[in-house]
Amino acid sequence: MTIEENYTLSLSLLSKSGMNLTSFHPEAEVRDSLLHRIALEWGSVTGPVSYYAPQRRALGLLRLKSGSLHLTLFPSGIPAPLSESGLYLVDCRPARRMLVRGRAEYALLLFDGPGLDFFCRQLPQGMPFWRIPPAAPWAGDLLPLFGKKEESPILCHMLLTGLLSRLALAHALPPETAPAYLEDIKSRLETHYYESFSLAALEEKYRVNRYRLCREFKSHYRTSPLQYLHRMRVQAARSLLAETNLKVHEISYEVGYENVNHFIAHFRKLTGLTPREYRLSPR
């Protein structure tokens, strides 16, 4: 018996996760004219568990708030690893069964509206998940979509349209292949941003002159390694400011800054606000 046969369709991810659900009911004019939120599902899951996802006319925006998951989709057997603090666009239209391993706290936003099918045709076909670059300066702007209260329908439409447009344009552009060592550095900065990094340490680890390393990293990713690191830290800090009651100095330490003044300076440079102003501002 294969591992997938050990799990039945009746064992639901949702029943195992203590899932909570908020439904949104926009007016008919909004449903007919704008991309709009349908539902927000949030909870935690601990695998291995089998989950049957029914067919829906919707796309999803999946956010892992903590932990990581490894999904295997059936009957294709396609693997889909999802990392901590990741943000993913999910194709919820086909019915599928998946085997879930790992442990994570998650939020899944479902949305629909005019133009959805057109955007889907612009994205890579046959892929159930499209990862949203965590360093994208606009990624943090999507946080209002995960609010449990009704948001302005125009704001939701603007954020969802911008998301789909950016992903479609990125897919249409010819890919740039970065050397493996740069991909590894970028991945480590995205997943271990809270650790200490220096150009000297990167130079020693990858045996590449730091000036060449910076030049090639900026050529492929349009920013330097340390600027990328600050962007990752500020991105994580924005989530903590929005969703926790941690104090600013505690968040500074959580995302990798030992000096809170350095944290505030980088946060203001990238967002235009201090952490306190960001927390108090309507988003």
* pLDDT tens digits, one per residue of 1-33: 332 333 233 333 444 456 788 999 999 999 999
**Pick from 78-82, 199-203, 214-218: least confident:** 78-82
**Are 66 and 84 contacting, i.e. CB atoms less than 8 angstroms apart?**
yes
Who wins on pLDDT, 181 or 222? 181
State in words which class domain 180-280 has: mainly alpha
**Pick from 1-5, 174-178, 272-276: least confident:** 1-5
Other CB atoms within 10 A of residue 154 CB: 10
Q: pTM (2 decimals)? A: 0.68
pLDDT at 4: 30
Q: What is the mean pLDDT of the chain?
A: 84
Who wins on pLDDT, 18 or 230? 230
Average pLDDT estimate for 185-196? 91
User: Is residue 132 pLDDT above 90, yes or no?
Assistant: no
Burial class from Cβ neighbours inside 10 Å (0-12, 13-18, 19+) for residue 140 reads: buried
Domain range summary for the chain, segments of one domain joined by +? 3-144+153-172, 180-280
User: Is residue 240 pLDDT above 50, yes or no?
Assistant: yes
pLDDT above 90: percentage of residues in the chain: 42
Who wins on pLDDT, 276 or 171? 276
Q: Which CATH architecture has domain 3-144+153-172?
A: Sandwich (2.60)
Who wins on pLDDT, 153 or 98? 153
User: Is residue 212 pLDDT above 80, yes or no?
Assistant: yes
Average pLDDT estimate for 137-151? 85
Q: Using one digit for the tens of pLDDT, what is the confidence trace for 60-114?
A: 999 888 888 888 877 777 777 887 667 899 888 888 888 888 888 889 999 999 9
At residue 161 the predicted structure's pLDDT band, cuts being 50, 70 and 90, is: very high
